[in-house]
Structure 1
Amino acid sequence: MTQTVHLPPIPDADWPDRIATLRSGFAGTLNVYRVMAHHPALLEAWAGLRQHVVLDTALGLQRSEIVILRAGYRLGSRYEWAQHVVRGRNCGLTDARIRAMQGPTEGMAPEDAILARAVDQLFDAKTLDAEMQSDLVDLVGTDGMMDLIATVGFYTTLGFILNSFEPPLDDAIADELARNPLAPD
């Protein structure tokens, strides 16, 4: 008989001592990291890459959010999509730009289309072809191109965790989207 593993977000009372310092930072604020806390060594290792991909990226905040939204959409991750609708709005993305990440690249602003096509190539071909590499270097530089690849990999891993264990949306995100849902076209 196959048994489903259920890994709910770990509450504060059960938080592992090994990663106690992470609870007061990024890991304690989001349900995805509270799920990841079931494996403290993984969450510890994750922290440095998260710092770079989320906060220190060469893509800049808006481009990074475009990449994350497209990856979240491609993964079919409700949690990731919702998180980044709110984060995208907070960094200045319009609902139209956010919504466009769910559709064909032909309907996107030219810069957004390059980023979305790069995400799509990574999902579909598992590589960036020479033309895409050139387009990305022209748009975001070599560091930005490498950060795009790392961002897709990072959020793909999170998406697999989210899709496998289905943590609930974080309260603040659910409340924000209830008050201000993504408006239809």
Structure 2
Amino acid sequence: MSDQLAPLGDDDWPEEVAGLRAGFAGQLNVYRTMAHHPALLAAWAGLREHLVRRSALGPERSEVVILRTGIRLDAGYEWAHHVVRARRLGMDDDRIRSLRGAPSAMAPEDGLIATGVDELVADAALSPETRARLMAALGKAAVLDLIATVGFYTVLAGILKSFGTPVDAEIAAELAARPI
């Protein structure tokens, strides 16, 4: 048995999660890699649904969290996918690029969110000051979703980087045609 886990093709897709193949899981290499462990992929589905579609952060703030987490963890797969997704939400390239830099150089709310991400990646906790500022700006549900999103994408980065999961062809082509 190889210790590499290439994304599974349709012919190798596990029967235990057959219902997920036609949805989100069959669309991206990250979940095709995770399908090597069907129980994990099945358990992952509910949290993914919440964080991707129902987060109290809303779509743009979620992308700020995900992009900053990708930068902090040097997770190229996540960065690439979420640059494309952020653009589709209407975020411009200057804003997206700013998420690579110092929080003080970003728009104020993005900088606050990036500071929270940075603290979570470095210390697995928000400082009391950052927590208070985030609670005042975003509300408690959004702060909890911010923390959960950083954790979620940290786990994904670990899977992606450990197994060298390739960026999906459609995303790679889109970024080749329109680099950031």
* TM-score over 0.5 for the pair: yes
Deviation for aligned residue 1:81: 0.5
Structure 2 letter corresponding to 1:123: V
| Higher deviation after alignment, 88-97 or 31-40 | 88-97
Structure 1 letter corresponding to 2:118: D
Name which of 88, 91, 100 aligns with 2:89: 91
Taking the aligned partners of 1:139 and 1:33, their CA distance within structure 2 comes to 33
Identity percentage over the alignment? 54
Structure 1 letter corresponding to 2:9: P
Taking the aligned partners of 2:23 and 2:63, their CA distance within structure 1 comes to 21
* Match in the other structure for 2:67: 69
* Match in the other structure for 2:105: 107
* Match in the other structure for 2:134: 136
Taking the aligned partners of 1:137 and 1:94, their CA distance within structure 2 comes to 26
Taking the aligned partners of 1:119 and 1:94, their CA distance within structure 2 comes to 21
* Match in the other structure for 2:80: 82
**Which contiguous aligned blocks of 4+ residues in structure 1 show a shift greater than 4 angstroms?**
none
Deviation for aligned residue 1:93: 1.0
How many residue pairs get matched? 180
Taking the aligned partners of 1:141 and 1:92, their CA distance within structure 2 comes to 24
* Match in the other structure for 1:29: 27
Structure 1 letter corresponding to 2:107: A
* Match in the other structure for 1:13: 11
Deviation for aligned residue 1:4: 7.1
Structure 2 residue runs of 5 or longer lacking an equivalent are: none
Structure 1 residue runs of 5 or longer lacking an equivalent are: none
Q: Deviations over 1:55-91 (max 9, x none)?
A: 1000000000000000001111111100000001111
SS in structure 2 opposite 1:82? helix
SS in structure 1 opposite 2:139? helix
Taking the aligned partners of 1:49 and 1:82, their CA distance within structure 2 comes to 22
Taking the aligned partners of 1:4 and 1:148, their CA distance within structure 2 comes to 36
| Higher deviation after alignment, 127-136 or 40-49 | 127-136
Taking the aligned partners of 1:131 and 1:92, their CA distance within structure 2 comes to 31
Taking the aligned partners of 1:14 and 1:125, their CA distance within structure 2 comes to 39
Taking the aligned partners of 2:170 and 2:2, their CA distance within structure 1 comes to 28
Name which of 159, 162, 167 aligns with 1:161: 159
Taking the aligned partners of 2:168 and 2:137, their CA distance within structure 1 comes to 34
Taking the aligned partners of 1:157 and 1:88, their CA distance within structure 2 comes to 21
**Residues 170 and 17 of structure 1, relative CA distance in 2, 3 Å threshold:** same
Deviation for aligned residue 1:110: 0.3
- In the superposition, the TM-score normalised over structure 1's length comes to 0.95
SS in structure 1 opposite 2:62? helix
